[in-house]
A = this chain, B = another copy of it.
Amino acid sequence: MIVRDFNKLKDTNRAVSDAQWTSVRMLLADDGMGFSFHITTLYAGSEHTFHYKHHFESVYCISGKGAITDLATGETFEITPGVMYALDQHDKHTIRADEDLVMACCFNPPVTGNEVHREDGSYAPPASAAE
User: Footprint of B on A, CB under 8 Å?
Assistant: 1-7, 26-27, 31-35, 37, 39, 56, 58, 60, 62, 68, 70, 75, 77, 82-89, 91, 93, 104, 106, 108
A85 near B1 (CB under 8 angstroms)?
yes
Chain B residues, CB < 8 A from A58: 26-27, 33, 35, 37
Minimum Cβ distance to chain B for residue A67 (Å): 11
A31 near B62 (CB under 8 angstroms)?
no
Give the number of times this chain occurs in the complex, counting copies.
2
B84 near A4 (CB under 8 angstroms)?
yes
Docked CA distance A83–B37 (Å): 12
The interface centre, meaning the residue of A27, A33, A87, A89 with most chain B CB atoms within 10 A of its CB, is A33
